[in-house]
Structure 1
Amino acid sequence: PVTLEVGDYVLTPEICLERKAIPDLIQSFQSGRLYQQAEAMCRHYKTPVLLIEFDPDRAFALQGADEMEHTISQNSLQSKIALLVLHFPRLRIIWSRSLHATADIVIAIKNNQDEPNAEAAAALGIPEIGADGKTVGGDSLINQTAIDLLRRLPGVSDRNIHRVLASCNSVADLAKMSKEDISKILGGEKPARMLYEFL
């Protein structure tokens, strides 16, 4: 086993899993850590997975029917999960009844899949230090606020955001591009038109 910076378990080269018991899930939402974890998994893996593990001695539900709110509330656990899924559409959520069910789920996912490269998985998310003592790689150089802004622009999606990041250094650079250049980057005329008209 190796210590991972991204996710709790790397099941295959493409699947990373973050496991949360209900109390941990609630605390991670409150601290904002789950958002960061989902973001890191989505950045590095094709299939990021959040596994929510329930206590076998309690009901297999987030809350009882009598506790359900009739309106949307930002404090509701269901609302927070819904927002997480909306913000990270590639994030898959698996509900597990117990620790034993989690083990069965992991075995089922890994069945007939390639083994991950432990060294590569352990290196994800760790910045490298250059000879001058400064960070030269890893996630710390990424301006996450700028990426979040970029993600919200019309026409930009999880499928094309990496091409956008590779093609320009700033949103200002993107705004100076022609519609044809934007179309090549985004991979289609419709998203290019949406972004071009917005900019």
Structure 2
Amino acid sequence: MQKIIPSNKVRIIVDNRERHIADYFSEFDVDLVFQQLKIGDFICSDRVCIERKTISDFLQSITDQRIFNQVSEIVKNYERPLLILEGNLEELFSIRNIHENAIRSVLAAIAIDFKLPILWTFDEHDTAAQIYRIAHREQIKEKREPQIRVKKKCISFAKQQEFLVSGLPNISNKLSIRLLKKFKTPKKVFSASESALQKVKGIGKEKAKRIWEILNKEYEAE
């Protein structure tokens, strides 16, 4: 654990890969301390660490399945972790060839299974303003200091796949394992026919129909 020397000025530990966002903090009374972080992108206190992702970053992390490893690590190591999703939400279902319900399943797993709060921001300026307010609250009001914490092992690749599939309606972790054993990959589970799904123990006609409808019915905004 590494501790930053206390100061009356707000300090935020920032991952080296986020240097490009530094200019957006210029209007705030803040010191940015750049370091190579193993977990998260911004550390605001001993308990608050923030993972920042643009919409494009988020979708890419679903594709390469990094998202659950990152989420697991930040949740294990910080008491009050946060995920910031930055950008136009209309692009969430349009800029990548990822099924809408796969995206919804990931968001549901993050919020429910990992209990990780998600904050939405419009752009880099909005993100910087939000991070500054969080850091100011933690350090000035709560008298907490930024600290780097790294202590626990990351979630396994298999668990990441199970979390993804268990986001489908009425699919428990046990059923997600059966589906993955049958179809081998989450992608093949999502593209399976109703009849193929019914061949898996515990997936009856109604459940298979519901899964197929969720994955294939055209989205209609409410």
TM (normalized to structure 2)? 0.47
Partner of 2:90: 61
In the other structure, the counterpart of 1:11 is 44
Query: Is the contact between residue 51 and residue 83 of structure 2 (CA under 8 Å) also seen in structure 1?
Result: yes
Letter in 2 for 1:116: P
Deviations 1:90-135 (A, max 9, x none): x110000010000110111011422213xxx1x615xxxxxxxxxx
Query: Is residue 119 of structure 2 the alignment partner of residue 94 of structure 1?
Result: yes
Q: Deviations over 1:6-53 (max 9, x none)?
A: 111111110110000011100101111110011001100011111001
1:168 is matched with none
Paired AA for residue 42 in structure 1: V
Aligned partners of 2:55 and 2:89 also within 8 Å: no
Q: 1:33 to 1:111 in 2, by over 3 A?
A: same
Identical positions, percent: 25
1:179 alignment counterpart:
none
1:50 matches 2:83: yes
Could you tell me which runs of 5 or more consecutive residues in structure 2 were left unpaired when the two chains were aligned.
1-33, 139-143, 163-172, 175-222
Q: CA RMSD in A?
A: 3.1
- Closer, same or farther: CA 115–81 of 1 in aligned 2, 3 Å: same
* Aligned counterparts of 2:86 and 2:72: Cα–Cα separation in 1: 20
Q: Residue 32 in 1 paired to residue 61 in 2?
A: no
Find the counterpart in structure 2 of residue 116 from structure 1: 146
Return 5+ residue gaps in structure 1 as ranges: 126-137, 154-199
**Structure 1 residues 23 and 92, CA, compared in 2 at 3 Å: closer, same or farther?**
same
> Separation in 2 of the partners of 1:32 and 1:19?
16
Taking structure 1 as the reference length, the TM-score comes to 0.52
Cα distance 1:22–1:144, how it changes in 2: closer, same or farther (>3 A)? closer
Amino acid at match of 1:88: F
Paired position in structure 2 for 1:85:
111
Q: Rate the CA distance shift 1:73–1:143 in 2: closer, same or farther, 3 A.
A: closer
For residue 60 of structure 1, report the CA deviation from its aligned partner: 4.3
Cα separation, 2, equivalents of 1:17 and 1:111: 14
Change (3 A) 1:101 1:145: same
Query: Contact 2:50–2:84 (CA<8 Å) still a contact in 1?
Result: yes
CA contact (8 A) 2:55 2:92 kept: no
SS of the residue corresponding to residue 94 of structure 1 reads: strand
Q: How far apart in 1 are the matches of 2:157 and 2:46?
A: 24
- Alignment coverage as a number of residue pairs: 121
In the TM superposition, residue 61 of structure 1 has moved relative to its aligned partner by: 3.0
